Structure 1
Amino acid sequence: MIQRYAIAQRLQVDFDQLSANHSSSSESSSSRLSVSSLEENRNRFKRVFDSNKEEGETLDYAFETVRREIRHQEKIGKSTVENFYYGRGDPKYTTVMSIMRWVDSKEFSGSLDNNAE
């Protein structure tokens, strides 16, 4: 729980810095940090997403499945999940947090499954 809070805090700081620097034409170290943090989360999401995708399942169906699972908690569209997966656009902080909560739940349930074996 503390680790999740620390990650959320770091993401908030990174997103705040990115927003502040977005209007600036020069790229500072803080915006690179933000991009790196976002990329780290995107890679973690892709790893969990790919490992949860059933064999033979289309990506379109898998994106819709993730959207439905996240939507139980918060409103999110399939295209938002797809865009995050492919790194398109600049996602909102709340979107990243919603997606990362899904990742946490999948990683946690996966660790429980591994411990049960």
Structure 2
Amino acid sequence: MSGQVRADFAILPRTPPDTSTVDVVATNCGDPVAVGLRPVHSDLMNDSGRGGHYYWCTRHHRVETDADVCPAKHVLGPYPSAADAENALQKVQERNEAWEAEDARWAGEGN
């Protein structure tokens, strides 16, 4: 095992539970090497308080809401409005064209 480092990590909840920090214990072959508090972001990653979201379903070719959304592999979004979701494919096409033009510029094809 020469030249290899093994590190195990454990995240331990504080007692009583505290949503702002957790104890982090790192070990190297069982010996503690770092102990401390790390901040934890406990908010949801979406802004679920703003109401529903809209998605464009690439399988059904329609706008879907949080209530009837297909699996993530079939949708684009979320979008703040049904109109934004309905225009998702147009936005994808515009971005693809811009990226392709940028790639061509970088490759020296557009000079």
TM-score by length of 2: 0.29
Larger radius of gyration: 2
The answer to which structure has the higher helix fraction is: 1
Considering Cα pairs closer than 8 Å and 6+ residues apart, tell me whether 1 or 2 has the greater RCO: 1
The structure richer in strand per residue is 2
TM-score with structure 1 length normalisation? 0.28
